[in-house]
């Protein structure tokens, strides 16, 4: 509810719909609510934010509209799985660190379990790369990523400055593929945004909604600083330790941690980093990767649970333990950042340079995702005119008929099995 929804004759404090003051709940309460959301939240991160608002602002009134808007702004600012981080922040606010863990576990586990089961099924079937249903889901992946690129481009690169940054990022990633290049592109576009973007291109004048109910009061600053230090140490130290030991499990954890730590925007933007982590070293095939990505569109919950599929199907770590390592690795940096940044967010959000850098980074990730649309998604997903026809039909279903992605994936799988 906004201020425009309250009648002028009714004082806000007396309104029966006014948000209650923040109160502490239990981790079990958080677990129950987020389990329902984890089982029913289809549609990707933007849809998840709508589900969260309805559940926690309108229905249960665990926090005010202003506090929720501030949490969303924070998680859009941070790298990592944005919708999952919003859930973590709500759980933290409601029931402390146990509430945060409960929110993450309940929202993540349903989709992770389904994708890991899918990975184990594919492993037991052997080579299924030529099966029609695989070809259909790969074509659906092309349509889903194309829709994501189009939507993100409209919102994150709507003017000539940010469109130029996005195009340059795509060109660099296409000509110089690799996870290291993607990380460098994110850093450079943030620097260019800070130095170059001005006015509306940088969101100047938008200082967010800051009120007394804003998040952050439950995290001691000592704990926040420790979380930020752990985030940085793991990001730097894990790859060094993996290289020194040659341990495939440590290498897997380091790779998924890097993907979760360096992707801005969440959702489909993680695709190229996961591809570089799983496919480029030779563990997962392109067909397996795209099949898993297609399946991830058909389940509720965060897209980052694709990591569980990849950890389970990778022959170097393929098992339930491999899936657990991948899932903890990709979600841990986002959790550390939520804990670490909450107490300082109100001050950072007001800084003009931070908004400019974020605007540049967002444009850069649009370019990175656009490059991923070509390689590996289109190059590996479209192998025949019939597959292209399925992808075109899926794209129209998504963008014009507003069909949910999970339904499109299931339909293309059936069509692929019958016709491809």
More confident residue, 178 or 188: 188
Kindly state the average pLDDT of the residues 255-282. 81
Look at residue 10 in the predicted model and tell me its pLDDT: 38
Residue 365 has pLDDT above 90, yes or no: no
Look at residue 343 in the predicted model and tell me its pLDDT: 79
In order, the DSSP letters of 345-401 are HHHHHT-HHHHHHHHHHHHHHHHHHHHHIIIIIIHHH--SHHHHHHHHHHHHHHHTS
User: Using CA of residue 265, residue 230, residue 95, residue 38, what is the dihedral sign?
Assistant: positive
Kindly state the average pLDDT of the residues 244-258. 93
Residue 268 has pLDDT above 80, yes or no: no
Residue 14 has pLDDT above 80, yes or no: no
Look at residue 72 in the predicted model and tell me its pLDDT: 76
Look at residue 201 in the predicted model and tell me its pLDDT: 63
Kindly state the average pLDDT of the residues 114-136. 77
Kindly state the average pLDDT of the residues 321-337. 95
- Measured in whole angstroms, how far is the alpha carbon of residue 400 from the centre of its chain? 24
What confidence category does residue 239 fall into, taking pLDDT thresholds of 50, 70 and 90? very high
Report yes or no: 299 and 105 within 8 Å, Cβ to Cβ.
no
What confidence category does residue 255 fall into, taking pLDDT thresholds of 50, 70 and 90? very high
Q: What percent of the chain has pLDDT over 70?
A: 83
| The two structure tokens encoding residue 420 | 């491809």
d(CA 96, CA 242): 33
pTM confidence score: 0.73
Kindly state the average pLDDT of the residues 118-144. 76
Kindly state the average pLDDT of the residues 294-298. 82
Residue 59 has pLDDT above 50, yes or no: yes
Residue 129 has pLDDT above 80, yes or no: no
Kindly state the average pLDDT of the residues 352-358. 83
Look at residue 32 in the predicted model and tell me its pLDDT: 95
Kindly state the average pLDDT of the residues 40-54. 76
CA-atom Rg of the chain in angstroms = 21
More confident residue, 35 or 296: 35
**Average pLDDT of every residue of the chain:** 82
Look at residue 47 in the predicted model and tell me its pLDDT: 67
Look at residue 130 in the predicted model and tell me its pLDDT: 65
d(CA 102, CA 36): 12
Look at residue 266 in the predicted model and tell me its pLDDT: 63
d(CA 96, CA 356): 32
Residue 7 has pLDDT above 60, yes or no: no
User: Using CA of residue 221, residue 103, residue 42, residue 209, what is the dihedral sign?
Assistant: negative
In order, the DSSP letters of 41-52 are --S-HHHHHHHH
Kindly state the average pLDDT of the residues 294-315. 89
More confident residue, 389 or 361: 389
| The two structure tokens encoding residue 84 | 């999952």
């Amino acid at each position: 509810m906004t201020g425009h929804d309250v009648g002028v004759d009714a004082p806000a404090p007396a309104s029966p719909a006014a948000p209650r003051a923040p109160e502490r709940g239990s981790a079990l309460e958080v677990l129950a609510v987020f389990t329902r959301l984890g089982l029913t939240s289809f549609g990707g991160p933007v849809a998840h934010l709508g589900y969260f608002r309805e559940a926690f602002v309108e229905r249960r009134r665990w926090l005010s509209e202003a506090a929720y808007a501030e949490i969303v702004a924070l998680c859009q600012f941070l790298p990592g799985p944005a919708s999952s981080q919003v859930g973590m922040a709500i759980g933290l606010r409601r029931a402390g660190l146990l509430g945060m863990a409960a929110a993450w576990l309940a929202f993540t586990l349903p989709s992770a379990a389904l994708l890991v089961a899918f990975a184990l099924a594919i492993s037991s079937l052997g080579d299924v790369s030529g099966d029609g249903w695989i070809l259909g889901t790969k074509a659906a992946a092309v349509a889903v990523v194309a829709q994501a690129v189009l939507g993100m481009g409209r919102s994150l690169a709507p003017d000539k400055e940010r469109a130029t940054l996005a195009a340059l990022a795509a060109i660099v990633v296409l000509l110089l593929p690799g996870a290291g290049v993607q990380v460098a592109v994110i850093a450079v576009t943030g620097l260019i945004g800070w130095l170059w973007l001005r006015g509306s291109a940088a969101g100047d004048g938008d200082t967010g909604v800051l009120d007394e109910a804003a998040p952050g009061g439950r995290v001691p600053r000592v704990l926040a600083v420790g979380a930020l230090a752990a985030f940085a140490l793991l990001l730097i130290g894990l790859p060094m330790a993996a290289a020194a030991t040659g341990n495939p499990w440590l290498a897997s954890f380091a790779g998924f941690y890097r993907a979760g730590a360096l992707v801005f925007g969440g959702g489909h933007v993680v695709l190229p980093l996961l591809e570089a982590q799983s496919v480029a070293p030779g563990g997962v095939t392109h067909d397996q990767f795209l099949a898993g990505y297609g399946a991830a569109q058909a389940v509720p919950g965060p897209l980052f649970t694709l990591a569980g599929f990849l950890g389970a199907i990778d022959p170097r770590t393929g098992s339930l333990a491999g899936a657990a390592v991948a899932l903890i690795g990709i979600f841990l940096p986002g959790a550390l950042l939520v804990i670490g940044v909450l107490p300082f967010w109100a001050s950072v959000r007001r800084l003009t340079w931070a908004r400019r850098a974020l605007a540049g980074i967002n444009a850069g990730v649009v370019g990175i995702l656009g490059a991923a649309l070509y390689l590996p998604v289109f190059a590996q997903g479209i192998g025949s005119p019939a597959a292209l026809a399925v992808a075109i039909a899926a794209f129209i279903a998504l963008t014009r008929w507003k069909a949910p992605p999970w339904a499109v994936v299931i339909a293309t799988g059936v069509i692929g099995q019958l016709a491809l």
